[in-house]
C-alpha cells in the first residue's frame, strides 16, 4: 500500500476534529490516544523528503494562522463591545 500525503492530511484533520469535539464536551478520556495518532502523522510529514508537499503544508499552516489571528481580533472587538454595552445597561438600570 502506498503512502498518500492527501490521505494523511485527511486523517490528521479528522483526528483534530475529534479531539476538538471531545474537548468541547469535556470528555478527556480518549484525547491522549487520538493525540498520539496525530503526532505520528505529523512526524511522518516532518520526515518526508517531498518538498512540494511540505510547502503545501506550510501554506496551509500560514493560512490557518492568519485565520486564527483574524478570529482573535474579532473576538477581542466583540468582547470589548459587549463589555461597554454591559456597563451602559448597568448604568441605566441603576439610574431608574
Rounded distance, CA 89 to CA 50, Å? 58
Can you give the pLDDT at residue 59? 79
pTM of the predicted structure, to 2 decimals: 0.53
> Measuring CA to CA, which residue among 15, 8, 17 is closest to residue 56?
8
Alpha helices by DSSP H, 28-50: 31-46
Rounded distance, CA 85 to CA 79, Å? 10
**pLDDT tens by residue, the chain, 96 residues:** 345 777 888 888 888 888 888 887 878 888 889 888 988 888 887 777 777 777 877 877 787 778 778 888 888 888 888 888 888 888 778 766
Rounded distance, CA 50 to CA 5, Å? 9
Rounded distance, CA 43 to CA 29, Å? 23
Question: Quick check: helix, strand or coil at residue 17?
Answer: helix
Can you give the pLDDT at residue 65? 78
> Measuring CA to CA, which residue among 8, 15, 20, 61 is closest to residue 38?
15
Amino acid at each position: 500500500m502506498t503512502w498518500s500525503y492527501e490521505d494523511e492530511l485527511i486523517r490528521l484533520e479528522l483526528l483534530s476534529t475529534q479531539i476538538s469535539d471531545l474537548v468541547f464536551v469535556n470528555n478527556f478520556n480518549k484525547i491522549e490516544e487520538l493525540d498520539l495518532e496525530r503526532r505520528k502523522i505529523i512526524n511522518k510529514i516532518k520526515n518526508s523528503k517531498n518538498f512540494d508537499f511540505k510547502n503545501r503544508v506550510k501554506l496551509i499552516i500560514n493560512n490557518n494562522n492568519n485565520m486564527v489571528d483574524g478570529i482573535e481580533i474579532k473576538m477581542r472587538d466583540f468582547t470589548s463591545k459587549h463589555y461597554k454595552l454591559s456597563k451602559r445597561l448597568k448604568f441605566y438600570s441603576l439610574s431608574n
